[in-house]
Structure 1
Amino acid sequence: MKSMLIAAGLLSLCLAGAATAKPQMSTEDLLGLMLEGKSAVQGEELEEAIRTADAFPLGHAKNPVRVSQPSGERSYLNRLRCSDGNPPAYERLGSTGNSPYGNIMDIYAVRCEGSTPADSQVFMDMYHKGFSEPRPVPGFTAAQ
């Protein structure tokens, strides 16, 4: 029951933004895409949204890190390195708003204890099936 309530809440959040991105998309179609881990915006429309988002720093709410599923979020964050070469600590703060791609975003608190950047927030969009962002967010490097 709890998972159904969570799914319903996430769907309602996503519908608000996706409706403006693709007004002809039905609730059933949108839910199907979410369950498959696919973006609400696809094809040339997605490519244009990516070009527009790239005007903002990676990890910003207007340019969230694109990954595939929650495991992709964790994998991406596990590759980040603070300025001292150590991995940061991170914690999911929750879901927040819609991404430029019509999907729900997650926000993470990322902390480099005794290093820089000390405290950061990273916005992520996990509805990009098969994609894993190769670039690190500003202030970090990425482990190989």
Structure 2
Amino acid sequence: MRSLIRLTFLAAALAAAPAAAQKLGARTATPDQVLSQLGSGLTDEAIARDVAAAEAHPLGTLANPVRVGGPAGERAYLARLRCADGSAPAIGPSTAAGIGAFGSLANRYRLDCGPRAPGAVDVVFDMYHDGHVETRAPAGLTLAAG
């Protein structure tokens, strides 16, 4: 009986070894790779059509979310946003905004410039665009050099 318990424990430890070798939380594939593995990958032409259609709407809305690469891309973009007077807005927590123009779940952040223009605004992000770096700011805001 003890041998069976030891054998079971050894088998479990060996099975867990490859997973333990990988850093917890490390990205194993880009969002595009994951989507293509699931059969939901889009062609470059389809993405270009979606981007062109979204451009008809204000940047930072659900119809035209700011495209960034992952949570790090959201944070980097938010760090560069400035109120009309050049000061950094207060940034609220991320909330789910719904399905955006590109077919993925979008995140919304409340930015508050206080009494300075543009006041309090919501900015919507689609973080499933690895490699894309947005160079424009939503209406009323500017982007600091970065």
Provide the TM-score with structure 1 as the length reference. 0.71
In the alignment, residue 37 of structure 1 is paired with which amino acid? Answer: P
What is the aligned counterpart of 2:31 among 13, 33, 37? Answer: 37
Counting aligned pairs with the same residue, the percent is: 37
Equivalent residue, structure 2, for 1:113: 114
Equivalent residue, structure 1, for 2:130: 129
Could you tell me which runs of 5 or more consecutive residues in structure 1 were left unpaired when the two chains were aligned.
1-34
Deviation at 1:92, TM superposition (A): 2.7
In the alignment, residue 50 of structure 1 is paired with which amino acid? Answer: V
In the alignment, residue 99 of structure 2 is paired with which amino acid? Answer: N
Structure 2 contact 98–105 (Cα < 8 Å) conserved: yes
In the alignment, residue 89 of structure 1 is paired with which amino acid? Answer: A
Query: What SS does structure 1 have at the residue aligned with 2:58?
Result: coil
Q: Note closer, same or farther for the CA distance 1:42–1:102 as it changes in structure 2 (3 Å cut).
A: farther
Structure 2 contact 117–140 (Cα < 8 Å) conserved: yes
The ranges of structure 1 where at least 4 consecutive aligned residues each deviate by more than 6 angstroms after the TM superposition are none
Q: Distance in 1 between matches of 2:79 and 2:105?
A: 21
Q: Distance in 1 between matches of 2:31 and 2:95?
A: 18
Structure 2 contact 112–119 (Cα < 8 Å) conserved: yes
Structure 1 contact 92–106 (Cα < 8 Å) conserved: no
1:86 aligns with 2:87: yes
Equivalent residue, structure 2, for 1:49: 50
Equivalent residue, structure 2, for 1:73: 74
The alignment yields a C-alpha RMSD, in angstroms, of 1.5
Q: Distance in 2 between matches of 1:135 and 1:41?
A: 24
Structure number with larger C-alpha Rg: 2
Q: Distance in 1 between matches of 2:118 and 2:111?
A: 9
- Higher relative CO (Cα under 8 Å, sequence separation at least 6) belongs to 1
Deviations 1:23-70 (Å, cap 9, x if unpaired)? Answer: xxxxxxxxxxxx622375441001000000000000011000000000
Number of positions where the alignment pairs a residue of Structure 1 with one of Structure 2: 110
Deviations 1:45-102 (Å, cap 9, x if unpaired)? Answer: 0100000000000001100000000011011111111011101111234122111111
Query: What SS does structure 2 have at the residue aligned with 1:109?
Result: strand
Provide the TM-score with structure 2 as the length reference. 0.70
Q: Distance in 2 between matches of 1:60 and 1:126?
A: 14
Could you tell me which runs of 5 or more consecutive residues in structure 2 were left unpaired when the two chains were aligned.
1-28, 36-40
1:103 aligns with 2:97: no
